Amino acid sequence: MRPFCNNDSILILTLDIDLATPSYNPADRAFYTGVTYLIIGVIALPVNIFVFLNLIRAPLINESCYKLIAITSFLDIFNLVTACFVSGISSILYLSYCSPGGAWLYPYSVYFMLHWYAYCAASEVLALDRLLIFARPRLAEFLFDGRRAWFWLLYVLGYATLGTLIKPSMFYIYSPVAGVFFDGDNNPFHIYNNFIKLIFVTLCYVFVIMFLVKLGNGATSTGQKSLSIQTLIVAILAALSTVGYLAVSYLPPGNPLSNYTGLIGQLGWILLHTFSGFVYLIGNKTIRSNFLKIVCRRSPKVSVTTINVSRTTTKQS
């Protein structure tokens, strides 16, 4: 028998949520949870893919910062696949790793955590780049200019791999009813990772805001300021997602939200990667223009035909 499963192949990690009560059918909650995730994913994933494809093309990819944003955008896509589609389909099918045919969800947790760690590391690198652009421009040029930005991929991948190897056990288990991956085995690295990312990225952007206010219309280009504001908005979304999840996680027992903590946390994770794509789609002029070209090209054209009617006046004598 697998860990956290009973003899009926039911996940018992969250006993109060996953087992039915006389007035409650967990399969219904799982179904509607899955449908919600899929609807968001169907809307968000194409936007994020479109943004990523624009980021890796000229002229954007020629800029160092857009290389870093392209990395985070790529990881947004992978996180959305897990958070919306893998989770959504599993909930609709009422599938956990305890279910027949659901064993693959157990090792899959290692795969998706690898992408989450990579996203956190990439976000920290991007925040550092934005800070140094204002605080130490020469150092920013030395660390990130040109192809040097791609070398930070080594740090991102190395950090994610290290986080996985430190705790190689397959610790996250998806609950189709709660709609979230639960930690079946405490993982300190995951906790430290989330707190360090929150603190480091927040501090970086606090200083970025201070520099933006101080410089005003100074020497820094308008493009750099606009780009910093876009990445700042994404960072704020990430902070709200983390803080919101922590807030509901420590609510007192018996609180009406206590049975929805996992759902709220999962939605925060989903919305973070969803809104990232929309921020760059709306805020970046090049990406926005390319999107409008596609929309206008596919819009039905209305032909207007003008008919001139001339009157002939006959004079009678």
> 263-308 pLDDT, tens per residue?
888 898 999 999 999 999 999 999 999 999 988 876 555 444 444 4
Q: Is residue 282 part of a domain?
A: yes
Q: What is the pLDDT of residue 303?
A: 44
Task: Tell me which DSSP letter residue 314 carries.
Answer: P
Interatomic CA distance for residues 106 and 98, integer angstroms: 9
Domain residues for 162? 26-296
Half-sphere exposure of 100 (CA within 13 A, CB side): 2
Question: ∠ CA(115), CA(110), CA(82), 5° rounding?
Answer: 55
Q: Is residue 13 part of a domain?
A: no
pLDDT averaged over every residue in the chain: 82
Question: CA 10 → CA 82, 83, 94, 176, distances in Å?
Answer: 22, 22, 10, 11
Residues 6 or more apart in contact with residue 266 via CB below 8 angstroms? 37, 83, 87, 179, 180, 181
**Taking 70 as the threshold, does the pLDDT of residue 9 lie above it?**
no
pTM: 0.85
Q: Is residue 302 part of a domain?
A: no
Number of domains in the chain: 1
Q: Is residue 20 part of a domain?
A: no
Q: Is residue 308 part of a domain?
A: no
pLDDT tens readout for residues 82-105: 999 999 999 999 988 888 887 788
Token readout for 41 is 């994913």
Q: Is residue 10 part of a domain?
A: no
- Band (pLDDT 50/70/90 cuts) for residue 53 is very high
Across 181-208, average pLDDT: 85
Check which CATH number belongs to the domain holding 36 and give it: 1.20.1070.10
Interatomic CA distance for residues 116 and 193, integer angstroms: 10
pLDDT tens readout for residues 115-129: 999 999 999 999 999
Interatomic CA distance for residues 172 and 180, integer angstroms: 9
Determine contact, residues 126/68, Cβ cutoff 8 Å.
yes
